[in-house]
Each structure stands twice: as structure tokens, then as C-alpha cells.
Structure 1
Amino acid sequence: MNLDLRKAVLHNVTGNNKEQLQDTIVDAIESGEEKMLPGLGVLFEVIWKNSDEQKKEEILTTLSNGLK
């Protein structure tokens, strides 16, 4: 079976409002389940692709600081 994970994740969250998106993210993080990591990766990809250079720099700074 050929599963396109990106399409599946995007299909599941398309049309969600901000509260629903936050609930999805918080649930994925708090559950601690490794199977949720690819979905978070897809959401991060959406953030990255839709961010300007200033926002990308902020994201990188936040990541860098969080990994110290």
C-alpha cells in the first residue's frame, strides 16, 4: 500500500481553526508517541514554507536556544 503521509496529515488538518490546530499540536507533543513525530514534521514544513526570511530566522533562533 502506498501512503502519502504529507497528504494524509494535510487532509486531516485542512480547514481546522487555530484552536483545533493548537489542540492537535499539544496532543501530539504531550502524548510523547513517536508515531506523532512525522505529523509534526509536516506541520513544521507548512510553517517553514509560509514564513518570510525574518520569521525563519526567529524559528532558527528559537530552535537553537531550545537545544542548548
Structure 2
Amino acid sequence: MKFGIRKPSIRKSIAARTSPTRIIKNKLGLRMPRGWGWLTDPKKALYNRVYNRTSFSIFDLIKKLFK
């Protein structure tokens, strides 16, 4: 589990936004509403919840500086 600052990867963020699976799910309307990840994959949802609360991004720091 990661604690502290996350290192952003531009390549991975672009790949995630342009993946064929994401495009197909969006076109067919197979997405669940936000916050329903615990229903589809509870183990992954719990991991993501802890991860997002214990780590932060460089972009989060920049937002706080210019707020």
C-alpha cells in the first residue's frame, strides 16, 4: 500500500482514457453509477478507498497552493 505522494505517469493516464474497454463500456451504456464499485468488486473498492485516503498527487498539492 502506498503512503504519501504519488508519482504521476502521463503515459498511463492517456492509456486509461483511450482504452478499448472504456470506449466500449461508454458506448453501450454498461457503466455503473459513481460509488457503486463496492457492488461490482468489493475487494478492489476497499483497496482503492484506503489508497486514495492515504496517498496524494502532485496536482493535489498545486490545487491547494493556488486555492
User: Structure 1 length normalisation: TM-score?
Assistant: 0.26
Greater fraction helix? 1
By relative contact order (CA 8 Å, sep 6+), the higher-ranking structure is 2
| Rg larger for | 2
> Normalization by structure 2: what TM-score?
0.26
